[in-house]
């Protein structure tokens, strides 16, 4: 998707509008967040959600923004669920060991 939108930056196209620059930066941020998620899950999830929100709701603002947003942040949603379940399990084990 990022490569397909690079057509704006090659001649004979004029200099792209600011909206296109912001969109490309947000798409690049999402690509970085997907790669970063292998090492720093929490930071990658925050970056992923932030970039997807700005891109789909503020820059593109199409009718399918909610669907595109949810598909793009699916790894972050899974990370949040995993963290919630892990925290719940940890607290349960902690309470059992105290009793």
Domains of the chain, by residue range, sit at 4-98
H or E element, residue 41: helix 41-53
Nearest residue to 24 via CA among 57, 50, 2, 46:
2
The predicted model scores a pTM of: 0.76
Asked if the bond preceding 62 is cis, omega within 30° of 0, the reply is: no
CA dist 62 → 66, 68, 69, 77, 92 (Å) = 9, 10, 11, 22, 44
How confident is the model over 36-93, as pLDDT tens digits?
989 988 999 999 999 999 999 888 887 888 899 999 999 999 998 888 888 767 666 6
């Amino acid at each position: 998707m990022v490569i397909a939108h690079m057509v704006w930056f090659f001649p004979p196209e004029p200099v792209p509008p600011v909206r296109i620059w912001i969109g490309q930066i947000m798409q690049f941020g999402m690509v970085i967040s997907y790669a970063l998620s292998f090492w720093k899950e929490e930071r990658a999830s925050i970056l992923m959600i932030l970039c997807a929100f700005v891109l789909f709701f503020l820059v593109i603002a199409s009718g399918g923004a909610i669907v595109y947003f949810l598909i793009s942040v699916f790894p972050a949603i899974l990370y949040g669920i995993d963290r919630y379940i892990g925290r719940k399990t940890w607290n349960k084990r902690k309470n059992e060991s105290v009793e």
